[in-house]
Structure 1
Amino acid sequence: MPSDLNDPDVRPLWQALADRLARGEAPATIKTVTAVLNPTGHAMITGWLAHGPSPSRRPLKTGPNGTTVPVSRLLTALGHTYQDLPDLVESTGLAIPPTGQDRRTAHHLRTTIDTYAEQALPDTPLLTTRLRSYGISAATLTERRHLIDALARARSLLPLPRPVHLARLAHHCTGDPHYFDLTGGPGALLVLLTRDLLHAAPPDTPAAERALLAQVGITAERLSQTVLVLNLRAAGSGPTDRALNLAHDDRRPHHLTLYDLTSHPPRLATDQVLLAVENPSLIDEALERHVKKPIACTSGSLTAVDHVLLNLARDSGVPITYAGDLDTWGHDVARIVSSRYTATITGMDHVIHRTALDAEPPWAFATPPSTDTSAGRRQAHANAPAENRALARIYQENPAILDLLLGQSADDPLPRPRQPAVAPASDPPQEHELSNGP
């Protein structure tokens, strides 16, 4: 091998090869390389090619971008093969960034796993497209194969001949009953698989997501998800209707499951107005105040069972009023209920904010927001403007809010504050207000 490989006159050749390798090109695919050479460098390379094991006197082609060197001839002349090319380039003092090999490895992994997914999950374009969007590495290859295998096992079984709980399907496919939990990750991919099988549009609520799975025989959270109701009457004769009316007659709260509302949906009486509230403590207080109006509790968020009940009430012609906590989170939920279920929003306007402030105990505003046990509420509180944070953390347990929604209590053992709380110096921004109507 010539001893002048490190000569500065031929360095442009090695640099051009290093650049190609760094871009991730496999050595054997680099047939020619173009470099800007001075006359000395051009003459040196011509000499290598002319005096190598397989000498060639064909002149090198030079164009406006430089001189084109046939890599195979060059390697043969120097006594090397394509496999040696990276080491040969680095022996001249040039470092090839690891990105070159990394890219080749990543391309190989990507091709391998994409082919594997397409073969295991045919005719599932939504699912395979989503899988292709995920990064892949040697460290995650085994996990990705496990995911694809689990989805493929599920696909081979769907649609199921009878309902099977999501946890049972997950256990059968992976050994882990929580693998397909509907909290994102594999659970979301199972929903995509179901959409592919049914050619369905994307579900826009948790309830629609579970209804989609039910079409292929998968039941999810239909017993564990419940909505607490009080004084709600039904006009039908089904099992859920009877359970609601029995609870109504006994004046006791009742937990409606997702199963009740989807497998045996009640026909709600239309001569009532359903008050939906955010916190279960309001139903507890309603019991003590002997409230007779129908109330349902969303427990701070809109889960699948909440969406199903509100949708059922809207479709049955039962008017809905909604009241949530007076904070950013509560207003966001109220907007959803108002727009989707034509609910009238009550107890959440600017006037109520002011009234509720006067009913708050003075020490309430000294409580740091970090003591709030809800991560979502802490974030909502942190995002609120500084001058509006007092308003952003008034909850439905506020006595003025309770009186508005449930009526006053003559025997309330908790005394009202003797001095009104100090209101913020400036009015809250308009985006934190919600009108008292849909």
Structure 2
Amino acid sequence: MTDRHPLDLPELRPLWSAVHDRLSTGRPVSRVRSGPLDDAGREALADLLGLDRLPGTEPTIPLAGLDHAVLDACGRPVRDVVALILGPIHDRAAERERRTGQRDALWEWLAGHEVVTAQPALLDWVGHLRTTGLVDGSPDRTRGLLTAALAVLAALPADGEPLPVLAARLLDGDSHALDDGTRLSSLVLRALAVLYGTAVPDAAEQRRALWSRAGVADDGLSSSVLAAGLRPQGGGPVAEIARICGGAGHPVSLTLAQLRAPGDFTGPAGPVHITENPSVLALALRRFGHHCPPLVCTSGWPNTAVIHLLRRLADDGASLYYHGDFDGEGVRIAAHVLAKTGAVPWRMSADDYRAAVPRVPAGPDPGRLTPAPWDRALVDSMAELRTAVVEEVVADLLLDDLAEHRRG
């Protein structure tokens, strides 16, 4: 058993606690206030300091004088003595600075993560998390939880997997990691609500609907994609349907179930253009008929069938070009499509926007704006002019581009 230090007396414990606490602040200390001391403590302190009278019950003691007294009593400085009696002296100021640095580094890492930079609308999610503080008690545990959330967001929209299957595939086999009510599930759903511009779901039915919108356990029949001019190679049913519709100058609507099992199907290797609005696809069919170049419509926010088809076409060698509305929602949809499919912008620059604004002198307000990853000047131009330009306004320019591609 370790011997107690000769100055480790019960009556001096209030003094040593006060000194230990002040030294642990990490700031310069010249005086220490101790107490309240009982009569025994006052006598012990008077003996230690060599006083000719008893101090008060809460004396303020110069640290230099106390250090000399302790050195005389035991040959060691007061810092060493209180550390031996009460344990190591910490530097709380340095510890606070270290924790602040860790938190700042965590939020900077999150804001700069490729999943967030690809869809800057998620910066609102980052801002909310930073305001509410660490999600799981410490920077390291929070980073681990956020890393898992980012892995899920990167994999969405899913291809109709049930939620437990998606969780097991992405999260080390843990099929319950995204169960309703878990911290990870709440993180991902809040991010999806920010992306889609919806309220954070507060009921189980709303949460299921948001997961479904992100392609989790999608109905293979209700999720479909509208396209025109697709003339894929292959003898499978989907390729034949698409060729028949394309040859007749009709659009084709393909369900997720069909796209999951298309049979022999190889998409066109040339350019495939993508529009946000079905009306542009209808105008293209009216102008080009059975000569319509390959065109896919997202019909607003793309569902699982849209993303599935676009990824399939890209894998088969197609170059994807996307155009959408010039408003806040349109920019977020564009960022999502580009991030998830590898498409590139088509007439979606700040210059394109400025050239289009005079076509709608009394256009509506563009609403909530978030950065466009492909052109940082675009959101600045939209914030300055505060005019939304829907895709139909520039449809003639888009159709001219399609005609040029067809001739090429």
| TM-score category, normalised to shorter length | 0.3 to 0.5
Structure having the larger proportion of residues in helix: 2
Taking structure 1 as the reference length, what is the TM-score of the superposition? 0.41
